[in-house]
Structure 1
Amino acid sequence: MSLRNVNLAKIHIAKAQLGLDDDAYRALLGRVAGVRSAKELGPRQVAQVLAEFQRLGWKPESKQQGRATPKVPQNRQVVLKKITALLASATRPWSYADAMAKHMFQRERVEWLDDSQLYRLMQALIIDRSRHEQQ
């Protein structure tokens, strides 16, 4: 889903949560951005409309990115920090790494991997990163 589509979805969610009827919504779009439809909004106008919704009391809900960083022994912290960075750079949650652990080693969670498996998981994420950088 593109950033534009995500922002347009936020606009429609805010409209619903603020309880705006169609006339009030279109009036707000006209007043803030000079348009009658969200489809006509440019990137700067989208930001202005979202800011106006927040001024009117809408609070965007942030998505939980999954679970917390796994707890592993001190000797595995360096590898775990690298895995954390790789997941963050690819904007993937920890559930992605857990799914890889299950697929690669039949372990449900990253923290259940031994040293060798944890290192190989990190290598797989590095390979994944290099594949996506080439595209």
Structure 2
Amino acid sequence: MLDKAQLAKIHIAKKELAMDDATYRAMLQNVAGVDSASKLTVPMAMKVLAHLQSCGFKPKANPKHGKKPTKPAAGKAALMSKIEALLAERGYPWEYLTRASKSGQSMVQRICKVDALEFATAEGLGKLVAALSYDLQRNGRKAS
């Protein structure tokens, strides 16, 4: 289930793109297979937001979440690039790793046992790569 912030972002995009209700619901049906944003799951919402961005919506960056770490340590740079590629392949933003799920923890907190991606070890980043690769395979694509 979506949190209020993500649902609000979708509605802000609808307003900024001046979408009427019929167009909005048709877009939801085509992109996510639902007729209401309240029925979206987190991955579906990510796809909808990516589609809205491709239509011209420019979200304001939240200073706490959603940014790629600026300068990873030398041993982590390759893993960070792989994570970025896997996120892009699925159409997920960096926020996918740092947004809390139903359990109240983000993917980074559950897998790497740290509060922020910047603090993850190379081993933790490797586990994130494995989790994202598994997600790709589960959804019909082969990870490299």
Among residues 11, 18, 22, which one is paired with 1:14 in the alignment? 18
* Aligned match of 2:92: 92
Question: 4+ residue stretches of structure 1 with deviation over 2 A?
Answer: 9-16, 63-68
Q: Please give the TM-score of this superposition, normalised by the length of structure 1.
A: 0.52
How far 1:93 sits from its partner (Å)?
1.5
Among residues 127, 130, 134, which one is paired with 2:134 in the alignment? 127
Change (3 A) 1:63 1:116: same
Verify the 8 A CA contact 2:87 2:94 in the aligned structure 1. yes
Higher share in helix: 1
Structure having the higher Rg: 1
- Unaligned runs of 5+ residues in structure 2 are 1-9, 28-55, 99-105
Equivalent residue runs for 1:45-56 within 5 Å: none
The aligned length equals 89
Change (3 A) 1:10 1:119: same
- Unaligned runs of 5+ residues in structure 1 are 1-5, 17-36, 44-59
The CA distance in 1 between the partners of 2:89 and 2:96, in whole Å, is 13
How far 1:63 sits from its partner (Å)?
2.5
How far 1:11 sits from its partner (Å)?
8.4
How far 1:38 sits from its partner (Å)?
5.5
The CA distance in 2 between the partners of 1:117 and 1:86, in whole Å, is 16
* Aligned match of 2:59: 63
Partner secondary structure for residue 92 of structure 2: coil
Report percent identity of matched pairs.
26
Corresponding letter in the other structure for 1:105 = C
Q: CA RMSD in A?
A: 3.3
Q: Please give the TM-score of this superposition, normalised by the length of structure 2.
A: 0.49
Change (3 A) 1:12 1:100: closer
Verify the 8 A CA contact 2:86 2:133 in the aligned structure 1. yes
Change (3 A) 1:106 1:61: same
Corresponding letter in the other structure for 1:131 = R
* Aligned match of 1:109: 116
Partner secondary structure for residue 74 of structure 1: coil
Query: What per-residue deviation string (whole Å, max 9, x for no partner) do you get for residues 52-108 of structure 1?
Result: xxxxxxxx5422576321131022111100100101111112121232111223312
